[in-house]
Every structure is written in C-alpha cells, then in structure tokens.
C-alpha cells in the first residue's frame, strides 16, 4: 500500500460529499519552508535529516549535539521498515522467486498466493523511529555511557512469499531480500536475493479470485450440470452463479493432498437488472466437488430436486421500482464540512492526531494493521500503548445440519484473505468529510501486481458529547463534544460485507469495531417445508441461523520501550461482600484483582454478571497515586460457539473456545488457527497448541487474543439486505494518565445549532444577534 500524489475533491451535496487528501507533502516550491513542512506533516524541519554517508559504523552522538543539528550518519530511506510493500517491491520479489525456479515447467506452474512484508524485529523498528524517520525519538535506543548508540544504516527490507505449484500441488514459503531498487522511470534496475525457501507439507494455501472464476466456468461447462439446471428450468448459463467455497475439513476425504472446493450454486432470473440479487435463488440438491489444482469436476450428483424459489419482487436492493418499492423522497442533504481542513497530519504511513501517533499497514490476509501506537503525554513524551493491532481471523459457522449448510464454516481471513477482498472506497459513501485515502498493492495469482485504490480511509468524526457538567448553584455549565479519528477498510467475502474500524478518542480510548452487512446466505425450501434451523424470509426461501466470530490480535506495549518485557495481565471481577460485620447493610461489593500468571491460567471467558475485564499493566511504571499504569480491555456484547464440543469446525478453530487468550510475544505466532487453516487436518493447531507451553506472563511482552462474535438469528427485515450489525470492544486507559486527557479538550468554536423562532429559521452569530437566513 502506498500514498499517491495529492488530489483534493470539491465538496458536493451528494451523499459522498467529502474532500480527499492524497498526500500531505508540500508540492510547490513556495511550501518548502521548514515552517510549512512542520505545519503540514508534523516533522521537525531542518538539518536533522541531512544525509551524511561517510561517518563510521555505529557512532555515538550526544543529545545536545542532536539538538544543535549535528548531521546524522545515514542515507535517506524513503520506506519505513513497517511500510507495506510497494508495487515495485512486489514485482522484484515475484521476479526473484520465479527466476529461482529450476526448470521452465516449475517457473510456469508457480502461483503467487501472497507477497507481504517481513516485519522486522522490534529493535529495528526502534532504530528507525529513533533516528531515521520523524518524529525522531532517540530515547527509544539504549545509551552507552549516557550517550545514545546511533546505527549507520537499517537492514534491507524483505518480502515473504507464499507460492503454490499447480504442477506438484505443493506450497512453499520464500523470503526475498531487496538489494537495490530504483524507479524504472530513472532507468534503474531491480535486484532481489532469495534468503530462504522451503516446502510446507500437508497444507493448502488460501484460495484466489482467479481460481474462483475458473471454478465457475468449469462447473457451468459440465454437461451433467447443465442438464440438472435444465430440469430446474434454466438453460441460460449466464444466469448461474457458482461460489467456490473451501471444503474445510470433515473427514480424510478432505485432506490437503488434493486442493478442493464445494461450490454453492445460485441463479438469477430473466431480469435485465445489472444489480439483481442472485443470492435470492439458491439451487438446492446439486452436489459438486471440484479439484482446484487441475480444474476438473471429480464428483457430481443431482441428489434432490428442489424447485427454484419464485422470482420475488422484493429480492433486490437497487433503487426504486427495480426492487418493488419506492425510494424515500423526504431526505434532505446532510453535509460534513471542515472549512479549515482536518486536524490530523500524515507523512507517508505515519499519522498524528490529538496527541496520538501510529503507523498504518496493510496485509493481504489481515487487511488493516495499526503499528506503533503511542500517546504524547506532556513532559513524558511518546508513551507506548501497543506495538501492533489487527484482526487476524474470522470464522462463520452455520447451525443447520442439512446439506450443504453444515459445511459452511468459512475462515474468511485464512481461507480467502480480508485484505485481498477489500474495496476501493473512492466511489462510495463509506466515509464523509476530509479523507486521507491509502492504496494497497497485491500480487495476483499469476504474479502480476494489482492495486486497490483508496483501500483504507482515514477521517475524523463527530461523536456526540465527550463530557458535561453543570453547577446547579450557579447555572454555569461546561461541555465538550467528542471527536474521534477513524481508520477503516471494507471487504466483501461472497455474500457478506465486513467493515473493520479502529477509532481513536480524545480521552485516550481505542475502540475496535466490526460492522456486518451484505446479503444472507440462504437455502431453498420445498413447498410447505419449514426448517427449525432458520427463518423463512420469502416464499421458498430461508436463512439458517449462524454465528460470526472475529479474532483481534493486540501486541501490547504499555509504557514499554522496544525490547522491554514489562507488562502483565490482571483480571478484575466484581464480588459481592458476604453478609457480616463488613456488610451489615448487605449492600457491599468490590472489585477483586487476579494476576494471570501463565498462558493456561489466561484462557478466560467474558462474564457480564461480574463486569469482568482485563488490564494490561506495566510492572515498573506508576502514576501519581503510586498505582501501576495500564490499559484495560473492556468487552462488548459477545458469545461462544453454540456447536457441540465435537463439531468438525472446532478442530481448526480451537481458539473459539475462549474469549481471551494471552501469550508472550513470539515473532512466528501470528494466526490463531495456524497459517494454513484451509483443509487443515491437524486439530488445535495455532493458539490452542502454543498455550500448552504454559509460558510465564507475570512480567512479559504480552499479546492479547480477543475473540468476539454474535449469534445471528435472521429476521424478515434482514432481507434482501442485512442492515449493519455492530460489535467490538474498547481499550481504555486505566491509571495510565494522571487525570483524564479530556480535560485538555478546548470548547468547540463552531456556531451553535440552528434554531427556529416564530417559524423563521435563524442561527446565532458572533455578536449575539439573530440573523435571518
């Protein structure tokens, strides 16, 4: 993902009224003054970034010399070690791996599932943030005899590639180091070096969109399938939709020695509506198994004839009469304007806003990643909160035991990739106001580079009232409105849409939110049939009950410098005091703390009856009252799997058995179901096996794995589109600040709300008079 050149769009009265910020770097010579640069991007103007190439390796420089502008010993680097891979880097990585193939046949059979940045160790990130990239933070590095150790250069960036061989059905992992990359427009050359490669046995990598398209074409071209569709009255194959779902793992027949898919079939009507909802007509009774390696049908059976649901005029979601309704005509324009522009500042992938700072990353699997979250706290400077925040997996198990629904338990991150299915937001109303967009770059199946423009949205939102108090004696009141900074992306996985959001608040809170919308995955019914495992939502159509689970991985670093392992996790529960001398009025209750000392002890579930929450504390840093500083995880609404303990999908998703898991940081422990959950025959791989080491957490570099979800019992009102469902959790300061940062929020300077007086719409003006509009 990379920023592109600056481009601003004018405000309009449409639902997409917004201004777009494409890059904050000044573009004209007049804007190149240090003051202008400092104002726009928030970096230190000046001589701190003058490159000096001749100084010796690992020199030391005093802090006073730094303050006076002594030249620094490094070459200018354009890419921070955490910046996502550029399109050029992806091309270099693919070309390097392809060139390493032993034969032309091997090279031709390579399919590129994923090319992603190898994120460096934390000490490398600390080096970069200390002296190579603004805002420079020398305090992040260790000091020798009171002087900071300044490295001469950063290590080269690396890419990690997952490669699938169509010829051998093998999956391999490659690591490529970038030796030298110059822009092709400058006539430069590109070089990469293979650092390592290994074949991973007994796995299947995620499916790709190219495979889905090929699978649909193969199924629709299969003569017995065409005959089966004719029996259902369909001869036009252009109306047929084939969604290639992964088979999961239910028996040895699903073992990864073959790359398999069991498609779901749907069919549009004769409608000429280009946005017709084809998911409204599921094709029941046809069993198809596809060998995705060789793209051939290996099993086909027309098991049971179920008529296609009738064409329902309420099936569509497009405007007006095409969906059997009339659009509302009484909605007036609602404009989001910021006359002086946004309050955030962006340089590359580095963001500053209201004392918050962080870096934006993006991967094909996780989508949005938030790095190096810190809060500027007066004289205490940048205080670290978290090293890395992301959504690493999601699972959607269905509760209908009938074919084909019992197999519907998608791992949408591990089997498909949330990032690779992200939207371009430039044409939607997904964000309003002044917006900074970030593009993302991916490899496609054959090794080319594809770009999703405007993939990530960064913008400010009004969020109601932050705080208020009125003194009843004087009648005087103080009130502040809340504003939050939102970073988000939206992806589509088959019929469902998922929006992923990280909200940063002025009072030090961080909120993680998932919004679910899109179209239900439905089944067809025989005339007069009713299913107990779902809701009838239209004639001949029902939606099964199901659950959605998401896993947030939070590499915490509360008040820690890189490399420090000084955090612990404490669980708090409300306890009711026993009747007796300490509770003579029977009204007493209190919060009881318990340190989670090991991984097995830290396998925990939510408990709303005891207001259970968890605090990540720094074991060495205290606030003004002498308490350890911390951030607490406050659960939102949540659930656990409703399937039985022997459910097949729980073999691959053992991490769903608890809402909270805690592990000490390990560089290779990233995905709770293991890296390759597709057709995975190994029970409990990933988080379920890591915690069996029962490593100590009493003072550690802790990683929180929070599992949250909802149980969806479909309603009639969820058809043809499901209104957004919200779920998530909060990370809140707990003794982290000496007092609430919200105290520092100034009163709003914008005008008061519009008022209506004697039928005349008016608003207050600065001199206190009423001006008619």
Omega of the bond leading into 135 within 30 degrees of 0 (cis): yes
The predicted structure's pLDDT at residue 276: 87
CA dist list (Å): 202 to 163, 164, 653: 14, 12, 18
Omega of the bond leading into 720 within 30 degrees of 0 (cis): yes
Question: pLDDT (tens digit, 9 = 90+) per residue, 440-469?
Answer: 999 999 999 999 999 999 999 999 999 999
Greater model confidence, 714 or 13? 714
> What's the pLDDT band for 187 if we cut at 50, 70, 90?
very low
> What's the pLDDT band for 328 if we cut at 50, 70, 90?
confident
Lowest mean pLDDT among 178-187, 261-270, 532-541, 624-633: 178-187
Greater model confidence, 758 or 50? 758
- Describe the crossing of helices 209-220 and 223-231 by its angle, rounded to 10 degrees: 70
Residue found by looking up tokens 């094909």 in the block? 364
- Residue 18, pLDDT > 80, answer no
The predicted structure's pLDDT at residue 771: 31
The predicted structure's pLDDT at residue 138: 86
Mean pLDDT of 145-149: 68
Q: Which residues are catalytic?
A: 412, 496
- Residue 761, pLDDT > 80, answer no
> What's the pLDDT band for 60 if we cut at 50, 70, 90?
very low
Q: Is 165 helix (H, G, I), strand (E, B) or coil?
A: strand
Q: What kind and span of H or E run contains 231?
A: helix 223-231
CB atoms inside a 10 Å sphere around CB 272 = 7
> What's the pLDDT band for 325 if we cut at 50, 70, 90?
low
> What's the pLDDT band for 148 if we cut at 50, 70, 90?
low
> What's the pLDDT band for 140 if we cut at 50, 70, 90?
confident
Distance between CA 524 and CA 522 in Å, rounded?
7
Degrees to nearest 5, angle at CA 58 with 57 and 61: 120
Question: pLDDT (tens digit, 9 = 90+) per residue, 556-589?
Answer: 999 999 889 999 999 999 999 999 999 999 999 9
Q: What kind and span of H or E run contains 649?
A: helix 649-652
CA dist list (Å): 297 to 218, 258, 264, 265: 8, 12, 14, 14
The predicted structure's pLDDT at residue 323: 60
Which of 656, 660, 658 lies closest to 673, judged by CA? 656
> What's the pLDDT band for 67 if we cut at 50, 70, 90?
very low
Question: pLDDT (tens digit, 9 = 90+) per residue, 409-434?
Answer: 999 999 999 999 999 997 667 888 89
- Residue 749, pLDDT > 60, answer no
Mean pLDDT of 160-176: 98
Mean pLDDT of 634-661: 96
Q: How far is CA 656 from the centre of its chain?
A: 18
Mean pLDDT of 53-82: 47
The predicted structure's pLDDT at residue 763: 38
Strand partners for 377: none
- Residue 58, pLDDT > 90, answer no
Omega of the bond leading into 404 within 30 degrees of 0 (cis): yes
Lowest mean pLDDT among 191-205, 421-435, 479-493, 654-668: 421-435
The token duo for 744 is 């520092």
Distance between CA 501 and CA 727 in Å, rounded?
11
Residue found by looking up tokens 């017709």 in the block? 276
- Residue 45, pLDDT > 70, answer no
Lowest mean pLDDT among 29-33, 101-105, 604-608: 29-33
Distance between CA 120 and CA 137 in Å, rounded?
18
- Residue 732, pLDDT > 50, answer yes
Please answer whether residues 368 and 413 qualify as being in contact, where contact means their C-beta atoms are separated by less than 8 angstroms.
Answer: no
Strand partners for 384: 374
> What's the pLDDT band for 662 if we cut at 50, 70, 90?
very high
Instruction: Give the HSE-up count for residue 2: Cα atoms under 13 Å, Cβ half-sphere.
Output: 15
Residue found by looking up tokens 């609602």 in the block? 334
Distance between CA 681 and CA 202 in Å, rounded?
9
Greater model confidence, 726 or 14? 726
Question: pLDDT (tens digit, 9 = 90+) per residue, 243-279?
Answer: 999 999 999 999 999 999 999 999 999 777 778 899 9
Greater model confidence, 191 or 739? 739
- Residue 35, pLDDT > 70, answer no
How many residues can be counted in the chain? 773
> What's the pLDDT band for 316 if we cut at 50, 70, 90?
confident
Lowest mean pLDDT among 6-15, 733-742, 753-762: 6-15
Q: Is 185 helix (H, G, I), strand (E, B) or coil?
A: helix
pTM of the model: 0.89
Q: Is 630 helix (H, G, I), strand (E, B) or coil?
A: strand
The predicted structure's pLDDT at residue 321: 57
The predicted structure's pLDDT at residue 181: 52
Which percentage of the chain shows pLDDT scores above 90? 75
The predicted structure's pLDDT at residue 405: 95
């Amino acid at each position: 993902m990379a920023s592109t050149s600056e481009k601003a769009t004018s405000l309009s009265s449409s639902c997409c009224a917004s201004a777009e910020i494409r890059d904050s770097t000044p573009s004209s010579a007049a804007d190149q003054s240090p003051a202008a640069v400092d104002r726009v991007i928030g970096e230190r103007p000046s001589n701190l970034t003058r490159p000096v190439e001749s100084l010796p390796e690992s020199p030391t420089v005093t802090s006073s010399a730094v303050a006076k502008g002594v030249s620094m010993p490094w070459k200018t680097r354009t890419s921070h070690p955490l910046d996502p891979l550029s399109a050029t880097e992806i091309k270099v990585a693919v070309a390097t791996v392809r060139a390493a193939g032993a034969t032309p046949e091997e090279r031709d059979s390579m399919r590129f599932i994923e090319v992603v940045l190898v994120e460096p160790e934390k000490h490398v990130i600390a080096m970069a943030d200390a002296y190579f990239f603004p805002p420079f933070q020398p305090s992040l590095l260790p000091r020798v005899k009171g002087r900071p150790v300044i490295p001469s250069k950063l290590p080269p960036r690396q890419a990690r590639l997952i490669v699938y061989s169509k010829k051998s059905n093998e999956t391999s992992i490659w690591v490529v180091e970038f030796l030298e990359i110059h822009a092709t427009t400058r006539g430069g050359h590109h070089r990469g070096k293979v650092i390592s490669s290994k074949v991973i046995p007994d796995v299947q990598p995620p499916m790709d969109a190219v495979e889905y398209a090929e699978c649909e074409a193969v199924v629709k071209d299969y003569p017995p399938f065409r005959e089966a569709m004719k029996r259902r009255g369909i001869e036009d194959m252009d109306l047929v939709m084939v969604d290639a779902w992964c088979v999961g793992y239910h028996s040895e027949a699903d073992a990864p020695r073959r790359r398999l898919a069991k498609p779901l079939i749907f069919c549009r009507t004769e409608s000429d509506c280009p946005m017709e909802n084809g998911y409204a007509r599921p094709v029941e009774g046809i069993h198809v198994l596809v060998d995705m390696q060789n793209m051939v049908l290996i099993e086909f059976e027309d098991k049971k004839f179920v008529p296609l649901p009738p064409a329902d005029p309420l099936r569509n979601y497009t405007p007006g009469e095409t969906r059997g309704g009339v659009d509302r005509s009484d909605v007036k324009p609602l404009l989001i304007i910021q006359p002086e522009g946004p309050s955030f500042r962006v340089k590359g992938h580095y963001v500053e806003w209201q004392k918050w700072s962080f870096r934006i990353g993006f991967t094909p699997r996780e989508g949005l990643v938030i790095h190096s979250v810190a809060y500027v706290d007066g004289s205490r400077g940048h205080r670290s909160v978290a090293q890395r925040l992301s959504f690493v997996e999601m699972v959607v198990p269905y509760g209908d035991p009938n074919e084909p629904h019992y197999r519907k338990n998608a791992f949408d991150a591990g089997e498909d990739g949330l990032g690779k299915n992200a939207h371009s937001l430039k044409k939607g109303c997904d964000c309003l106001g002044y917006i900074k967009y970030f593009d993302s770059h991916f490899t496609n199946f054959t090794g080319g580079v594809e770009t999703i423009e405007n993939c990530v949205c960064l913008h400010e939102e009004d969020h109601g009232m932050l705080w208020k108090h009125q003194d009843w004696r004087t009648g005087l009141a103080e009130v502040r409105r809340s504003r939050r900074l939102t970073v988000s992306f939206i992806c589509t996985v088959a019929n469902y849409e998922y929006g992923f959001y990280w909200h940063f608040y002025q009072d030090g809170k961080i909120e993680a939110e998932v919004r679910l919308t899109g179209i239900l995955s439905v089944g067809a019914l025989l005339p007069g049939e009713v299913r107990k495992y779902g809701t009838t939502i239209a004639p001949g159509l029902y939606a099964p009950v199901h659950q959605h689970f998401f896993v947030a991985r939070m590499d915490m670093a509360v008040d820690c410098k890189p490399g420090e392992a000084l955090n612990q996790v404490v669980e708090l529960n409300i306890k009711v005091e026993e009747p007796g001398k300490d509770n003579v009025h029977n009204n007493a209750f209190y919060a009881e703390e318990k340190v989670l000392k090991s991984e097995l002890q830290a396998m925990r579930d939510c408990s709303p009856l005891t207001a259970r929450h968890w605090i990540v504390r720094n074991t060495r840093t205290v606030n003004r009252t002498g308490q350890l500083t911390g951030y607490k995880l406050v659960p939102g609404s949540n659930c656990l799997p409703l399937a039985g303990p022997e459910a097949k999908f729980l073999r691959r998703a053992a991490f769903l058995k608890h809402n909270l898991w805690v592990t000490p940081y390990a560089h290779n422990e990233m995905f709770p179901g293991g890296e390759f959950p597709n057709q995975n025959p190994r029970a409990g791989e990933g988080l379920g096996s890591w915690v069996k080491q029962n490593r100590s957490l009493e003072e550690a570099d802790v990683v929180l794995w929070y599992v949250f979800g909802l149980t969806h019992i479909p309603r009639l009102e969820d058809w043809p589109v499901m209104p957004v469902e919200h779920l998530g959790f909060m990370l809140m300061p707990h003794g982290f600040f000496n007092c609430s940062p919200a105290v520092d929020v100034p009163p709003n300077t914008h005008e008061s709300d519009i008022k209506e007086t004697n039928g005349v719409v008016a608003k207050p003006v600065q001199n206190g008079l009423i001006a008619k509009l």
